[in-house]
Structure formats: structure tokens, C-alpha cells
Structure 1
């Protein structure tokens, strides 16, 4: 079976702390979008950072996996909202991602709270981004049925 490949690229100029990068994605959702030390480690909101992009990707993947799981179980999702928080912490001379916290709020008519939790936990475990991020020590999910 052939796979689906998506691409992104980064152009970086300058040294580590003083340098500036530009992130572009295949779809142009991000087109030369700036990032650098300030947007990653400080409070510069003029750019993005890898952790924010990772959080968006994980939230998007998990949300689709949950909706597909509901479809398969015979439930129709009306509204699914997911927030992901990726925590970057100092680790010796570098940094590591030690936690990803997912928060799901969804409106799924006819589903029991138990089935909702089962499908949400299954989507957390089974979505491709969750699998790719399995080395993160703590991945949590708070699921709320609206």
C-alpha cells in the first residue's frame, strides 16, 4: 500500500538565538511564517513555534480520529472541539517535550458517557499523531460530553 506524504520546509538565517526562521507547508496554510527564539522561548506573538504547530497537528488528528470512531460506532458527532497543550521543559543542556494535554468537548447525540469516554480514549491511543508521539512521557485527555 502506498502512503500519503505531506511536506513542510523551513528556511533559517542567522545564529541560534538571533536567527529567524520561516516555515512553509505544502498547502500554503503556513507560507514563510516566521519563528525564532522569541516566539519559542519568550512571549513574542509575531511568530509561531514547533510546539504550537505540534499541538495543532495533534489536536486535529485526534479530533478526526474521535469523529471517525463515533461514525464507526453508529454515533454522529455534531460538534467536536479539541485543545492541545504541549509542554517544553529544560532537559540538561537542551529541552524535551514532557507532556501533551488534550481537552475534548463534544456534542454527540444519543451516546452514553461511558461509550463517549471509551471512544475518546481509543482515539487518543490510536490516532497517527498519538502513535508518533508515544515517546512523550505524559499524554493526558480530559473528555467532556456537551
Structure 2
């Protein structure tokens, strides 16, 4: 037995975003390249933030800068698979948020990949950390797992 934790399951996540794979996502080995999952994570979280009315990409303040990231892979996917990204907040700090994201085949129960990243929220101009606004905190609390 390897001692590796089993894949996360769908009920472990609070929100879901659909991910459309692209032909360019496949690598020479015929599956989604490992680095592409990081783009899926970023897209899913930022799409959720935009839909929640928190993130204004062009002019909003604060903005989130990624300071840490990681991923574990469990099973492959390939174009034209349809995927879903489960999102939860693992830690809600004063100016930082650790997001955890799991990628599932559409309708699948076990994650094919699990990742995380930490955003530190900063002032758009000074790039110095700022406290999360109350509206952000209230919305993000709904994603706490």
C-alpha cells in the first residue's frame, strides 16, 4: 500500500465551475498536460469570483496575487473531455485565501486532480497586502470546507 491519500470526492467541494478542454491542452502523450491544470484552477476560482460580483478584472481593488500553488494527479483526462472544477476555501486569513480545487470528469465522483493556491490580496497600485473587504469575506465564507 502506497500510503497516498485517496482522491477527494465531489461532496467535499462547495461550488463547481465547468471546464471545457481544448485540443491544445493535450500533450504528446495524449492527455491533458500537467501545467494546464494550473490554468484550470485559476480560471475556475476567478470565474467564481467574477460571478459572485467580487472581482472586477480591469479595475477592481483588491487584486489577488498567487504566492503558493501545488497539485496531485490521480487519473488522466484528454480533449474533448468535459470537466468540472470543485472549489472550496481551506483558509480565510486577513489578506490571504487558500483555495483548494479538484478537477472531476463531468458528473464524476472522484477527483482526477487536486490542487491549491494561495492568493494574497493587495492594493492594485501599491501591491501591498490589504484586509479583505467584508463583502469578499462573507462570500468566501460560503466556500469554506
TM-score (structure 1 length as normaliser): 0.33
Higher relative CO (CA 8 A, sep ≥ 6), structure 1 or 2?
2
Return the index of the structure with the highest Cα Rg.
1
Higher percent of residues as helix: 1
